């Protein structure tokens, strides 16, 4: 695995940017897991507001940016890893199941109550990283 992806995998939450139908940006936090080099997340039972904008956006335009960030008040200890790539949506089948399994392994909340909704599968095209330790 790419070293930056390994660092990314160590964090609990990231941020997903997608493109709205009007061309503007849309941003949500998301828990995630890695399956090989892919980043996966799923629609779970946490409260939602209607049809999820992120899914509609990806269906219309699969280009996404995903960022994991470590913040500290010690500004010599900051880093981030960003993945630019393409997202696809899966609602059943082996790809969906692999993502759910990886999420259940990472989050005890999902072992107690697995997500049942759509999986977003992000295939990285470019991985960028930054660290204040330079």
- Whose Cβ is closer to its own copies: residue 36's or residue 73's? 73
- Residue 95 interacting with its own copies (CB under 8 A): no
Q: Which stretch binds its own copies (CB under 8 A): 1-9, 33-41, 59-67, 95-103?
A: 59-67
CB proximity list for 4: less than 8 A, separation 6 or greater: 81, 127, 128, 129
Binding positions for its own copies, 104-123, rule CB under 8 A = 109
Q: Which stretch binds its own copies (CB under 8 A): 1-9, 44-52, 98-106, 116-124?
A: 44-52
- Residue 36 interacting with its own copies (CB under 8 A): no
Residue 84, sorted as left (phi over 0), alpha (psi -120 to 50) or beta, turns out to be beta
Query: Both tokens of residue 16?
Result: 């997903």
Q: Which stretch binds its own copies (CB under 8 A): 22-30, 34-42, 89-97, 116-124?
A: 22-30
Residue 37, sorted as left (phi over 0), alpha (psi -120 to 50) or beta, turns out to be alpha
Instruction: Check if the beta carbon of residue 111 is closer than 8 Å to that of residue 26.
Output: no
Please name the helix (run of DSSP H) or strand (run of DSSP E) that holds residue 131, with its range, or none.
strand 119-131
Candidate residues 32, 65, 104, 122; the one interacting with its own copies per rule CB under 8 A? 65
Token pair 């049942």: residue: 116
* Residues of the shown chain interacting with its own copies in the complex, contacts defined by CB under 8 A: 12-13, 15, 17-19, 23-29, 46-47, 49, 61, 63-67, 69, 71, 73, 75, 78, 80, 82, 84, 109, 130, 132, 134
């Amino acid at each position: 695995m790419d070293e930056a992806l390994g660092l990314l995998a160590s964090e609990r939450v990231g941020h997903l940017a997608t493109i709205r139908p009007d061309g503007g940006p849309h941003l949500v936090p998301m828990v995630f897991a890695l399956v090989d080099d892919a980043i996966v997340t799923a629609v779970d039972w946490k409260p939602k507001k209607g049809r999820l904008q992120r899914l509609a956006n990806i269906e219309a335009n699969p280009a996404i940016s995903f960022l994991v960030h470590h913040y500290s008040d010690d500004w010599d200890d900051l880093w981030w890893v960003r993945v630019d790539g393409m997202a696809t949506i899966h609602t059943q089948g082996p790809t969906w199941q692999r993502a759910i399994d990886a999420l259940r392994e990472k989050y005890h909340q999902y072992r107690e109550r697995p997500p049942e909704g759509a999986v977003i599968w992000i295939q990285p095209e470019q991985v960028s990283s930054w660290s204040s330790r330079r």
